[in-house]
Amino acid sequence: MPLITDTAHAFLPYPDVPVLHAGTGPLAGLCFGVKDLFDVAGYPTGGGQPLVLAMSGIKTKTAPAVQQLLDAGAKFVGKTVTDELAFSMNGNNAHFGAPINGAAPERISGGSSSGSASAVSNNLCDFALGSDTGGSVRAPANHCGLYGIRPTHGRISLAGVLDLAPSLDTCGYFARDVDTFARVSSVLLGEDPVAMPTNIRLLKPLDIWSMLSEDVAVAQAKPLARTEAALGKAVEMRVILDNPDSLYWHFRHIQGHEAWTVHGPWIERFCPPLGPGIAERFAWSKTVTDEQFAEASVYRKRFKKHLADVLGADGVLVMPTAADIAPLKSDGGEALESYRNRSIQMLCLAGLSGFAQISLPLGQRLGAPLGLSLLGPAGSDMRLVRLAQQIANTA
């Protein structure tokens, strides 16, 4: 059993099967956890769903993203708990438990990459792989005080990884400090295909910022100031196409339609008992029509072009990662659902466009971490990482 001292419930108690890694390399000396959506040879892949775990068997191949890390000298220390089928942001799996938020133990860790964020925030490993479809890396990064990335769609391989909504799914990761984050990024991202210009334009989308409550806006003032100190004064602008509801619903229609396409057949075949929220979300996903999906796909194209035009080659949005700090564990399902929906309105910019976004743990409110995000054009991932370093190095 890996990491027997894990009292954070971040790791799954799979029997400890050794996984080879290179003796030297850019990540030598670092250890990492892997969300239980990624195949690792010698382990099952459970996806946070007991029947999926039962069906999995022991995998014989390791997902390329994991293999890249091993080849770079990082040590695999275990598979981390994921929200059920990665279709939640609450970090509370009805079957496998609720990994503890190392930065705010009374608050949820967020999901669906809950165990990975928990493991890193509890110092159980140096970094961890997650996946981000609608915010599953960025939200837990916000909640647990971590650096977390949703890369440009397609930038990091998702071969050997369970799908949720393939046109939205991405492979992301977490680290506590920006230098570890940058080391891992170099390995998984390599250099950007087209380097951004030396001078970037920092953009502040007022229509996103105006979604914040006053308390949260106040808490985001310092992180924003620090970012501007490092990257220059942000230009105020607007980014939403049509209205926030369009963004939100088109995103959800794409996610729901694809999630049902991926999981519907076996869910109908096996009738697995799905946890609270997950069952309802799949039931809703089933109702998304082909027409809604087609309409959403048209909107997505428009939005992607719109955001590409807005950003150009040198634009970087600076924006809140989520609606607020992590909800309390004691919050009811309705409060969590409301938090999720408000956050998706921010998180879906990167989701719909497929562009890269990094959450930086720059803020605090009520003693809990609060993330600020940089969102850049397609392929700007590594540059965003370097901007994050620049900000971190600005006192």
Strands (E), 336-388: 356-365, 368-376
95 binds its own copies (CB under 8 A): yes
Q: Exposure of 265 by Cβ count < 10 A (0-12 exposed, 13-18 middle, 19+ buried)?
A: exposed
CA-wise closest residue to 143 among 188, 181, 91: 91
Q: Which stretch binds its own copies (CB under 8 A): 52-60, 181-189, 221-229, 376-384?
A: 52-60
Q: Which is nearer to its own copies, 36 or 381 (CB)?
A: 36
Query: Nearest approach, Cβ of 53 to its own copies (angstroms)?
Result: 6
x/- site string to its own copies, residues 56 to 75, per CB under 8 A? xxx-----------------
51 binds its own copies (CB under 8 A): yes
CB 80 within 8 A of CB 12: yes
1, 20, 229, 298: residue in contact with its own copies (rule CB under 8 A): 1
Query: Nearest approach, Cβ of 5 to its own copies (angstroms)?
Result: 11
Strand partners, 315: 201
> What amino acid occupies position 340?
R
Question: In 357-378, which positions are buried (b, 16+ CB within 10 angstroms) versus exposed (e)?
Answer: bbbbbbbbeeebbbbbbbbbbb
Give CA–CA dist 331/219, Å, rounded. Answer: 21
108 binds its own copies (CB under 8 A): no
Give CA–CA dist 98/175, Å, rounded. Answer: 20
Query: Nearest approach, Cβ of 50 to its own copies (angstroms)?
Result: 4
Query: Nearest approach, Cβ of 95 to its own copies (angstroms)?
Result: 4
x/- site string to its own copies, residues 271 to 310, per CB under 8 A? xxx-------------------------------------
> What amino acid occupies position 124?
L
Sign, Cα dihedral of 300, 306, 309, 312: negative
38 binds its own copies (CB under 8 A): no
14 binds its own copies (CB under 8 A): yes
96 binds its own copies (CB under 8 A): yes
Q: Which is nearer to its own copies, 55 or 237 (CB)?
A: 55
Binding site for its own copies (CB under 8 A): 1, 9, 12-15, 44, 46, 50-51, 53-58, 93-98, 270-273
